[in-house]
Structure formats: C-alpha cells, structure tokens
Structure 1
Amino acid sequence: MKQTQKPIDIYSWATPNGHKVHIMMEECGYRLGKDWLAHPIDIGAGDQFKKEFLKISPNNKIPAMVDPHGPDGKPFALFESGAILLYLASKTGKFLPKTDRAKFEVMQWLLFQMGGVGPMLGQTHHFRIYAPEKIDYAINRYTNETRRLYGVMDKELSKKQYIAGKEYSIADIAIFPWTRSWKNQGLTLEEFPNVLRWHEEIAARPAVQRGVEVLTSLRKPLVDNKARDVLFGKTQYQKR
C-alpha cells in the first residue's frame, strides 16, 4: 500500500513576504490543505516570538517552512522567503532555469527584490502608514526610492515579458506581492506601463489568485497600540 506523504508546513501571515511562498506553493502544483498547510503566525499578536516558531525562524520573521521530506528524506526547516523560493524551485524543478546564464539572471532579480524592493517598500509603508508621527524627510526619502525601483523594473520590462527574461520565474513571484500595495506607496501603476502590463498578467494566474487569498481573512487592520508595539516598539527588540 502506497504511503501518503505528509504535507509541507508553511508558517506565515498575509503579507507580501508570506504571499511569495503561498503563491510558489500553488504554482508548483501543491494544493492547500492537501499537499501543504498554512499555519497562521499573527505578527500583530506576537506569535513570531513564541519559542516553537523561533526554533525554525531564529530571526522571528515570517515565513518559515518545515518540509517533512527534506533533501535527505528527513524533516528540513528553512526561514527567509528567498531561500524558501530557491528550495522549492530546486525541489520541484520549476521557475528557475537550468542553464547557468539564465539561472543567474533570475537570481540577480530575486536578490534585487530581497535587498531592494522588499526593504525599501517596507520602509515606505511604515513611514507613510504606520509610524506614530509623520516625518516628511523619511516619507519623501522612501517614496522617492520606491518610485526609482519601479522605474528600474519598468525599463527592464519594456524589453522582456518577465523581469528576468522570457519565462515566468521565482523573481516574478518574489516581486509581485509587493506591487499589490502600490496605493500605500504613494504612486500609481499607470506611471509605469510596463510594470502595469506585467502586474496584470501575473495577477490573472489562477495559482497567484489562490496564493494571495491564503490567511487573508485572518489579517485585521493594525490599529491598536499593543500591535504597533509588538511590530515596531520595544517588544521587537527584546533579547530572546
């Protein structure tokens, strides 16, 4: 009798970084509730600081993953969304080219997201929406940097269908969730017609539509001071 494989556990929340992995799971052919499970880590409530989560994500950030069937057949834990995308691409043979030239072209744009798009757009969200005081210098600095990064992507997408070439890849999967929050970034996608074309094409993919719905119903607006302290105040910086 064939043994049923245990599902992959994803510990996550409905944020751009979380949705990267939710989309990747669905794009790879895994089905929520059957092949993978989404365990909510409510970052406003402080779930990311629980000992059980810190065992698999020592940086107390979502998402994190436990694959019960790792590279050596044993359970394998991984944190950092970019690392998880690379792992799943390697495991399934999807969304990462095989040739060195094409592979590294994808990886440079994945790292562009990890080192630029994510951190800079995250700061834009923070200072435009969540900061307890409006600091014009910070708002202008990060909004301008966000607009610059969109300009970089727009120029690149004027030459190719996808950010790293002719094929849809983990680089597109990594960047896309951040562009869904353009209203919070002080710009419009119409300013960047090539990004708009790319964004709409990816948003129409069924796996993407399923991925961005994962855990979304559980997320509530960040309005209370306790949640703000957990995310941005002294709670975040306690030694653990």
Structure 2
Amino acid sequence: MSANTDFTLFLSSHRPNGWKVVIVMDELELDYRSFDLDYRKGEHLIPEHLKYNSNGRMPTLVDHRNGDFAVWESNAIITYLVEKYDIKGKVLAKTFEGKMHQLQWLFFQASGQGPYYGQAEHFLLYHPEHVPSAVERYQKEVLRVLGVLDGVLSQREWLVADRCTIADLSFVPCVAF
C-alpha cells in the first residue's frame, strides 16, 4: 500500500468504533485516508487489511509517519494518537493521574458500553429468534452504563479533569448510533 497521506484507517462506517478514531484524528487535524470495509460482505478479510491486523476486526490504523506502525482496537488507536501526536494537549489528559483516569474510562467504554450496546442491538435487530431474557439483560446494561455516565456528568462537565479528552469522545459514537 503506498502512502499518499500520513495515515491509513480501515473502518466500517456502519459501526461506531471507527468513528471514535475519525473524531480524534479530525480534532488533531491529522491527514488520513480511510477505507470503508463492509463486514457483511467479508471485506474486512481482504489481504490489504489482514496485513496490518491479523484479527481482522476494525478499526485499524496504519501510521506511515512511523514506519507503517499499525494499531488496532479503537481505544488503543486513540490512545496512540494522542500520546504520539497531541502535542498541544487538545484531547489528552495532562497529568499522570489524569491519564490513569482517562485509561479507566476507556476501559469502561470498551468493556461496558461497547459490548452491551452491541449485544442489545444484536438481540433486538439481528438474532434469528426472539430471546426476551437476552433483550432485557442488555437493555438493562445499556441503562446501567448510561446511569454511571449520568451520575458522573451530573456533577461535572467532563469525565476527566476540567476539559474534554478522549475519554469523553470514546463514548460519543455508540450513543449517536
């Protein structure tokens, strides 16, 4: 793959995780080219993508500025981007403790919001048979996650410190989808 831009981003525009990366790259004003691959058609399994991500899931970022260094998993990608390229500290926590809180929220997003929203969607829209207990479980978990966020954000404006960071931005696409 020839790099005409600084970054290549493989994503599926039909899923929220790639949009996290897009939001952060746009905030940092990074120059990238994206490839929208359709899971339903198996496009994520093309050799050009698997070369950088043997897991085949998206998003995947290739940093041509850094010797075609590849990173996958959306929260790992946005952490990489801010640690390496957020020189002005636009969306990166500034202190060690702030970075740990940022990491805590990124883990919560990846282990809570992402999977619970995804499973709720699956059992509501795509599962071949109606499974009321699964629908109820994941709807309750979605509400629980929203309750955690609401509880914190009712007392302060941002999840980490006194400004927007990637912790806040990581939650946006799932809610917006």
Amino acid paired to 1:23:
I
Q: Which residue of 2 aligns with 1:126?
A: 122
List aligned pairs for 1:174-185, cutoff 5 A: 174-181=170-177
Tell me which residue corresponds to 2:25. Answer: 25
Q: Secondary structure at the match of 2:9?
A: strand
Give 2:172's aligned amino acid: F
The question of 1:109 aligning with 2:108 is answered no
**TM-score using structure 2 length:** 0.91
CA distance in structure 2 between the aligned counterparts of 1:107 and 1:61, rounded to whole angstroms: 21
AA at the equivalent of 2:112:
G
Matched, 1:92 2:90: no
| Matched residue SS, 2:41 | coil
Aligned to 1:7: 6
Structure 2 gap ranges (5+): none
Unaligned runs of 5+ in 1: 182-240
Contact 2:5 2:33 in 1 (8 A): no
Larger Rg: 1
Q: How many residues align?
A: 170
Tell me how far apart the structure 1 counterparts of residues 124 and 70 of structure 2 sit (CA, whole Å): 35
Q: In the TM superposition, what is the alpha-carbon distance from 1:165 to its structure 2 partner? A: 3.1
SS at match of 1:60: coil
Q: Give 1:98 deviation, angstroms.
A: 2.5
Q: Which letter maps to 1:24?
A: V
Q: Distance in 2 between matches of 1:37 and 1:60?
A: 18
Q: Which amino acid is 1:77 matched to? A: A
Residue 55 (structure 1) shift: 1.8
Q: Secondary structure of the residue that 1:96 maps to in structure 2?
A: coil
AA in 2 matched with 1:87 = Y
Find out whether 1:16 has 2:51 as its counterpart: no
Which deviations, in whole Å up to 9, do the C-alpha atoms of 1:157-188 show, x marking residues without a partner?
A: 0111112231101111111101113xxxxxxx
TM-score (norm 1): 0.68
Contact map agreement 2:18 2:74 (CA 8 A) in 1? yes
* Percent identity between the two aligned chains: 35
In structure 2, give the amino acid aligned to 1:147.
Answer: L
Counterpart Cα distance in 2 of 1:130 and 1:166 = 40
8 Å Cα contact 2:59-2:73 kept in structure 1: yes
Q: CA RMSD in A?
A: 1.3
Looking at structure 2, the residues matched to 38 and 75 of structure 1 have their Cα atoms a distance apart, in angstroms, of: 15
The one-letter code sitting in structure 2 at the alignment partner of 1:36 is Y
Q: Which runs of 4+ in 1 moved over 4 A?
A: none
Deviation readout 1:73-104 (Å, 9 max, x if unpaired) = x2211111111001100122232223111111
